[in-house]
Amino acid sequence: MTDDDSAFLRSQGPATRAVRAGISRGPEGEHGEPIYTTSSYVFASCAEAAARFSGDAPGNVYSRYTNPTVRAFEERLAALEEGDAAVATASGMAAIFGVCVALLESGDHVICSRDVFGATAGLFGRYLARFGIETSFVPLADPTAWRAAVRPRTRLLYLETPSNPLCEVADLEAMADVAREAGALLVVDNCFCTPALQRPLALGADIVIHSATKYLDGQGRCLGGAAVGREELMRELRAYLRTCGPSMSPFNAWVFLKGLETLALRMRAHSENADRLARWLKTQPAVERVFYAGLPEHPGHALAARQQSAFGGVLSFRIRGGREAAWRCIDAVRVMSLTANLGDAKTTIVHPATTTHGRLTAEERERAGISENLVRVAVGLEDVEDLEVDLARGIAAAERA
Ligand SMILES: *Cc1c(COP(=O)(O)O)cnc(C)c1O
């Protein structure tokens, strides 16, 4: 694709960009995106090899640095997030780690939401701490707490919105103000919404993170991740990838590239199913409370309605009867899969307190609202009537103590 084509496609609507951005036709004129399964690339001469190695000439050298299929995915994702560029990585965690390694140094300070993905909290709290990078954990939806945590060496603010599994919402414009005042970068994990529902860069974030493993793939096939943002930041990320090595495989890039084509349709359908299931759950006497930002009584509702175009596919609920009831409910469903993954066409159901949030202490779980009777559902694309009947089956089993 020439620069002209890229710029032209950038001017098109989001659905057009999702289908067309990042296409680079090979010599066969193939209409489907080719998968370049090659580790290295041949040079026409020593002069060309030298120019490519030094970066003076464009072109591929080695697939740890660049690969045409991976680049196509990066271009398509960057076009959807409305960022200058994207850098794809082997997993979502490799993208988060990469942002830290590429942009932080010993003595720097990070402020991170308490309600982040478990491995993300572990990365900041356990590993970066060993290398002299300290992290303060603060409540997601309270900009005052973030402001109060700022130190002279604060370099990075890190959050996910909406949060997992209680769907709390951060005001991204307010958080961008906090970051600007602190002279720090705002990094937003946009895994739950995807660019189909929320574009943090347009609201003032500096970097968007993705676990492509989730909705970008959408069918639970591959691991991958990405960071998106300004060219000067992405250049640092590319240097990290070239040196440290957690590159995305071309096959996975191809899966994600195709996933992006249907992303907007899928996110709309996930959101519609989740919304309907949340409203149905609310009518169930055995259900104590439902957490979904699409419900008007949810504390994050107004904010989510403003900064997201829909409320996404993840919800959770508290069932009467403690952990035993939650387990009985989950063990009795027949359609939903008992798995910790999310962002799949197949609905998944999980007990956060003993799985995804099991590494937290009881006190940390209590503070995060991860009660023993909490059940998380990542609503898929099945017939929503079947999902209702399935949860009704679970609830009936929970009541049969
Ligand atoms: C899954 C997930 C990650 C980690 O991504 P991997 O691809 O599994 O490494 C990061 N953030 C969020 C919000 C996730 O759900």
CA of 190 to the centre of ligand 1 (A): 10
Ligand 1 centroid to Cα of residue 246, in Å, is 15
Distance 217 CA to ligand 1 centre (A): 12
The CA dihedral of 225, 229, 235, 237, to the nearest 10 degrees, is: -30
Residues 54-101 have pLDDT tens digits of 989 999 999 999 999 999 999 999 999 999 999 999 999 999 999 999
- C-alpha span between 125 and 347 (Å, rounded): 31
- Quick one: tokens of 10? 């950038």
Torsion of CA 24, 84, 262, 115, to 10 degrees: 140
Q: State pLDDT tens for residues 362-388.
A: 888 888 889 999 999 999 999 999 999
* Ligand 1 centre distance from Cα of residue 212 (Å): 8
User: How sure is the predictor about 3, in pLDDT bands with cuts at 50, 70 and 90?
Assistant: confident
Dig out the tokens for 14 from the structure.
């989001």
Helices vs strands, H then E, count in the chain: 17, 12
**Nearest residue CA, atom 8 of ligand 1?**
92
pLDDT (0 to 100) of residue 382: 98
Cβ < 6 A, ligand 1 pocket: 91-93, 117, 119-120, 160, 189, 191, 211, 213-214, 223, 225
In this prediction, residue 353 has a pLDDT band, given cuts at 50, 70 and 90, of very high
| Exposed e or buried b per residue across 337-373, where buried means at least 16 C-beta atoms within 10 angstroms of its C-beta | eeeeebbbeebbbbbbbeebbeebeeeebeebbbbbb
Q: Which amino acid, residue 372?
A: E
Q: Each residue of 17-43: pLDDT tens digit?
A: 999 999 777 778 888 999 999 999 999
CA-CA-CA-CA dihedral for 11, 17, 20, 23, to nearest 10: 80
Q: Which amino acid is at 262?
A: T
Please state, in angstroms and rounded to a whole number, the distance separating the CA atoms of residues 130 and 298.
38
Contact of 344 with 380, CB cutoff 8 Å: yes
Question: Whole-angstrom Cα distance, residue 379 to residue 401?
Answer: 26
pTM: 0.96
pLDDT value for 23? 79
Q: What is residue 231's three-state secondary structure?
A: helix
Q: How far is the CA of 231 from the centre of ligand 1 (A)?
A: 23
Whole-number pLDDT of residue 1:
66
Four-residue CA torsion sign, 127, 128, 134, 138: negative
In the reported structure, the alpha carbon of residue 105 is separated from the centroid of ligand 1 by a whole-number distance in angstroms of: 23
- Could you tell which of 163, 191, 197, 341 is best to mutate to test the pocket of ligand 1, judged by most ligand atoms within 8 Å of the CB? 191
Describe the strand order of the beta sheet including 337-338 as a list of residue ranges.
287-291, 314-319, 374-378, 348-350, 337-338
Ligand 1: which residue has its CA nearest to atom 5?
A: 92
Mean pLDDT value of segment 35-53: 96
Considering only CA atoms, which residue is closest to atom 6 of ligand 1?
A: 92
Amino acid making up residue 171: D
CA distance 107 to 272: 46
Mean per-residue pLDDT, 105-130: 95
Name the residue with the closest Cα to ligand 1, atom 12.
117
Type of residue found at 254: W
Q: Decide yes or no: CATH 3.30.360.10 for domain 264-399.
A: no
- Dump pLDDT digits (tens) for 268-303: 999 999 999 999 999 999 999 999 999 999 999 999
Probe residue for ligand 1, chosen from 209, 213, 215 as the CB with the greatest number of ligand atoms within 8 Å:
213
Burial (CB count <10 Å: 0-12, 13-18, 19+), residue 47:
exposed
Residue 320: CB atoms within 10 Å: 15
In 3D, which of 153, 193, 197, 159 has the Cα closest to residue 176?
A: 159
Could you tell me the residue ranges of all domains in the chain?
3-261, 264-399
CA of 24 to the centre of ligand 1 (A): 29
CATH architecture of the domain with residue range 3-261: 3-Layer(aba) Sandwich (3.40)
End-to-end CA distance of the chain: 62
Residue whose CB lies within 8 A of the most ligand 1 atoms, among 91, 93, 161, 256, for a mutation test = 93
Q: How many CB atoms are located within 10 Å of the residue 304 CB?
A: 26
pLDDT of residue 392: 98
Which of 115, 124, 161, 211 to mutate to test ligand 1, by most ligand atoms within 8 A of the CB atom? 211
